[in-house]
Amino acid sequence: MSCNIAIDGPAGAGKSTIAKKVAKELSFIYVDTGAMYRAMAYYLLKNNVNAEDIRELEEKCEGADISICYQDGEQQVFLGEENVTAYLRAEEVGRMASVSSANGKVREKLLSLQRNLAAQHDVVMDGRDIGTTILPNADVKIYLTASADKRAKRRYLELTEKGETCDIEEIRQDIIERDERDMHREVSPLRQAEDAVLVDSSQMNIEEVKDAIVGIYKEKVKH
C-alpha cells in the first residue's frame, strides 16, 4: 500500500524545495509534474504532432506512458522503456510543453499518470491543487505558506544571487496578484484542503520546514 504526501500552497512558498527534501529523507519519489509535462511534450514532438492541430494533439497524447524513478539518487523520467531525462531541457521541448500543457486533454492524461504513480509508489507531490484535486485521498496533506513580504524577500535574494537586477516591491506586488489569480481561477483554485495541516514558514528556515513536515508525517502515518 503506497503512502502519499500532498504539499500545496501559494507561489514562492518553497514547495518544490521542501517536497524534494521531504522525499529524500523518507525515501519517497518526488513527483516532478513539470518534468512530466516536458516528457509529454517530447513524446508529441517525437510523434511529429503539430501543436496547432488540437485534434491531433488530443488524440496522440493518450498514447503517452510517462513514469518517474530514481537511480543513484537522481530523478529519471521514462517514456515507456526509454529514459528521456537528457532531452527534457531542450528549447523545442520547452516550447511544446508551454503549448500542450494548456490543453485540457493533456492535463487529464497527465492527471491519470500522476495518480497511477501515486497508487504504485510512496510519493511526495507539490502544487496548487494536489490535496484538493489530484490526490484528494493523500495520507498527509500540507498547506505550506508564508507572508507575501517573506516570499518576496526570498525571491529577491534568489534573483540577486544570480546577478539579476530586481525591485523587491515589484516582486511583492506580483506575488499578491498571482495569489489572487490562483485563488480565484475557475479550474482547481488554490485553497487549503479541509484536512490539510497549515505550515507557515515565515519564521522558519528550509531544514526547520522539512523537519516539521516529516514530523507531521510520522505523527499521522506512523502512529
- C-alpha–C-alpha distance, residues 65 and 47, integer Å: 13
Confidence of residue 223 (pLDDT cuts 50, 70, 90): low
Q: Compute the mean pLDDT over every residue in the chain, rounded to the nearest whole number.
A: 91
Q: What is the pLDDT of residue 102?
A: 82
At 92 the pLDDT is 92
**Per-residue confidence (pLDDT) for residue 136, from 0 to 100:** 95
Helices assigned H by DSSP within the chain: 15-26, 33-46, 54-61, 91-100, 104-120, 148-161, 168-184, 206-217
* Residue 169 burial (C-beta neighbours within 10 Å; 0-12, 13-18, 19+): exposed
Residues 205-222 have a mean pLDDT of 93
pLDDT at 220: 87
Mean pLDDT of 21-40: 91
Give me the residues paired with residue 62 across strands: none
pLDDT at 4: 97
Burial 39-62 (b: 16+ CB within 10 A, else e): bbbbbbbeeebebeeeeebbebbe
> Does residue 222 surpass a pLDDT of 80?
no
* DSSP code at position 139: S
Given this model, what pLDDT does residue 33 score?
84
The arithmetic mean of pLDDT across residues 142-155, rounded, is 94
Portion of the chain with pLDDT greater than 70, in percent: 99
Asked whether 211 and 43 are in contact (CB, 8 A), the reply is: no
Per residue in 87-146, pLDDT tens? 998 989 988 988 888 888 998 999 999 999 999 999 999 988 899 989 999 999 999 999
Residues 1-17 have pLDDT tens digits of: 899 999 999 988 989 89
Mean pLDDT of 32-60: 93
